[in-house]
Structure 1
Amino acid sequence: MIEQNRRQISGHPLIQEINNTQVPYGTAGIWFLGQESVILKGDGITIYIDPFVSDELEKTQGIVRLYEPPTAPEHITNADMCLITHEHEDHLDPGTLRLIAKQNQSSLIMAPAWCREKLLQIGFDPMKTVDADTEQALSFFDSKIKIRAVPAAHEELEVNSLGQHRYVGYVLELNGVKIYHAGDTLVYDGLTEWLRHQEIDLALLPINGRDYFRTKRGIVGNMNYREAAELAANIGVDAVIPLHYDTFAGNAERPGNFVDELNEKHARPKCHVLARGERFVYVSPKAFLQE
């Protein structure tokens, strides 16, 4: 019934496409909005990760995008849940989240505890705001989805006095597919081994890297395309999608370098580079097996 109502009221073509997309067991719908902003759909649940489609960063800091986002905050009326990886404004975007909170009042939001006060100021219901817990997986929507936050090092692992991590990624189990969205992170000791044991199907990894000159300008970095390719290969994922390479001129990378690195040095995993606004349906090996 919820999906039927969404099909009737949605107006923007991208949002309508998401609402009308039904994916069978063992698959997941994925839409790329740029930077690390993606939308996932499976089992009738629509999840926004780091939704960043407003112009607030440009208005407040003069940081200009290289392109217009494929949708705008006022069109987002179908968010069942949002996941935020950290407080930087190209990940926790007040201009986008303010309207998501207003237009999707039943939706949940999960983020590091470091972000809670900012999210409440934006307008999220404290009862629907969940702290990202790196110690255990949490279940939502009658256990249709399980989510575990993973510590991220952007560029260091940082915790508060309660041991809560400032930066996280997420491992999601949805519709028979296990997905790792790394957030902003370097590869740190223990990450590869931990991820290998998770038996992840699809990894979404940043590739923009870091260097001396960007660090001097206050730009915090991530793994580069070589590190991301080796991580994907070493943790044994079926497929990988590169992220965080396209939005700002001073902090970009060529995704073709990532594809070449995989092709030349690693037999697997499969790789897909998403166009902004593209619908990609990931099909896992489980898709053709009986539940």
Structure 2
Amino acid sequence: MEQHDHSIIQEINNTRVPYGTLGIWFLGQESVIIKGAGITMYIDPFVSDDLEKQGVKRMYQPPITPEAITNADLCLITHEHEDHLDPGTLRVVVKQNEKALTIAPAACRERLLSLGGEASNIVDADTDKPLSLFDSELRIHAIPAAHEELETNAQGQHRYVGYIIELNGVTLYHAGDTLVYPGLLELLRGHSIDLAMLPINGRDYFRTKQGIVGNMNYREAAELAAELQVDTVIPLHYETFAGNTERPGHFVDELNEKYPELKCQILARGKRYVYVSPNAFKAGNGLS
């Protein structure tokens, strides 16, 4: 593991972002840290070496270790695959962050309990019931995801989800692992999304034959972001495992050629990015 744990966590703790902005740290794959309104959340934290111990090699080492994560107020999990619900990371996170809530699809509950999570701190991601947390400073709406199909259990609960996050005057969509499926556009248009985080690694016959479940490709991600008229788009899920990668430059080229008015940000692993939304420049917010 790269030894940047202390400086990154200290930077997160010391970062104060004005209304209309979010602090974002990218850990690789679809793992990000989001901070706003004094709330620090981890989405799909995947920084352990558990998969490497099983012979699945990363193309890079994560910028922090699980043991560094001592500042989580909330953890969002999109689905149970180990590069999203990482046992080696979450086993440590739930131990070191005893008051932190974990929100995840119901299919993840037993796994989270087996990792030491307290039942009272685990909340099922219900796509029909938005959550209001931290005295309404944070609103979370789980969105069905199709990885590669929409799957539900007998109770109608979705196996895969993304999240609409309303925090600090910003509306963020973290898609999780998903294709663009019929109805997704209409569902997302019900929210005024400022910042979209979308997978771009795609899928194909040969990866499917190997049992690798796919996502939208970079062209589909660009089209989705443009259709939603988001302010900024960030590509995810493109550089962790050999054979299931994509070049983010292809995504940038697609946007530049077809949607040059759409802003894009490629995140550097372990480095702070402050997203500034149009709301930040409204009178009285301190950035005008």
Matched, 1:110 2:99: no
1:68 corresponds, among 55, 61, 65, to 61
Cα deviation 1:125-144 (Å, max 9, x = unaligned):
10010000101210111111
User: Which amino acid is the alignment partner of residue 239 of structure 2?
Assistant: D
Residue 260 of structure 1 corresponds to which residue in structure 2?
253
User: Does the CA-based 8 Å contact 1:97-1:122 persist in structure 2?
Assistant: yes
CA distance in 2, matches of 1:173, 1:138: 10
Q: What is the DSSP-based 3-state SS (H/G/I as helix, E as strand, rest coil) of the residue aligned with 1:226?
A: helix
User: Which amino acid is the alignment partner of residue 76 of structure 1?
Assistant: I
Deviation at 1:267, TM superposition (A): 3.2
2:32 corresponds, among 38, 45, 48, to 38
**Range 39-48 or range 260-269, more displaced:** 260-269
Structure 1 segment 171-250 matched on structure 2, within 5 A: 171-250=164-243
CA distance in 2, matches of 1:194, 1:90: 26
Deviation at 1:71, TM superposition (A): 0.2
Gaps in structure 1 of 5+ consecutive residues: 1-10
Deviation at 1:120, TM superposition (A): 0.5
Matched, 1:154 2:147: yes
CA distance in 2, matches of 1:136, 1:201: 21
Residue 134 of structure 1 corresponds to which residue in structure 2?
127
Q: What is the DSSP-based 3-state SS (H/G/I as helix, E as strand, rest coil) of the residue aligned with 1:184?
A: coil
- Cα RMSD of the aligned pairs, angstroms, is 1.1
Residue 29 of structure 1 corresponds to which residue in structure 2?
23
Deviation at 1:266, TM superposition (A): 1.0
Residue 8 of structure 1 corresponds to which residue in structure 2?
none
Deviation at 1:93, TM superposition (A): 0.1
Deviation at 1:250, TM superposition (A): 1.2
Structure 1 segment 72-91 matched on structure 2, within 5 A: 72-91=65-84
**Range 279-288 or range 187-196, more displaced:** 187-196
Q: What is the DSSP-based 3-state SS (H/G/I as helix, E as strand, rest coil) of the residue aligned with 2:165?
A: strand
CA distance in 2, matches of 1:268, 1:83: 31
Q: What is the DSSP-based 3-state SS (H/G/I as helix, E as strand, rest coil) of the residue aligned with 1:213?
A: helix
**How many positions carry a matched residue from both structures?**
281
Q: What is the DSSP-based 3-state SS (H/G/I as helix, E as strand, rest coil) of the residue aligned with 2:63?
A: coil
CA distance in 2, matches of 1:188, 1:136: 21
User: Which amino acid is the alignment partner of residue 129 of structure 1?
Assistant: I
Gaps in structure 2 of 5+ consecutive residues: none
Residue 4 of structure 1 corresponds to which residue in structure 2?
none
User: Which amino acid is the alignment partner of residue 116 of structure 1?
Assistant: R
- TM-score (ref. length: structure 2): 0.96
Deviation at 1:82, TM superposition (A): 0.2
Cα deviation 1:105-137 (Å, max 9, x = unaligned):
010000000000000010111001000010121
Identity of aligned residues (%): 72
- TM-score (ref. length: structure 1): 0.95
Cα deviation 1:86-116 (Å, max 9, x = unaligned):
0000000000000000100010000000000
2:6 corresponds, among 2, 6, 12, to 12
User: Which amino acid is the alignment partner of residue 79 of structure 1?
Assistant: A
Cα deviation 1:173-216 (Å, max 9, x = unaligned):
00000000000000000111221221100000000000000000
Q: What is the DSSP-based 3-state SS (H/G/I as helix, E as strand, rest coil) of the residue aligned with 1:273?
A: coil
- Extract structure 1 runs of 4+ deviating beyond 6 A: none
CA distance in 1, matches of 2:190, 2:167: 18
CA distance in 2, matches of 1:42, 1:269: 24
User: Which amino acid is the alignment partner of residue 45 of structure 2?
Assistant: P
CA distance in 2, matches of 1:145, 1:214: 38
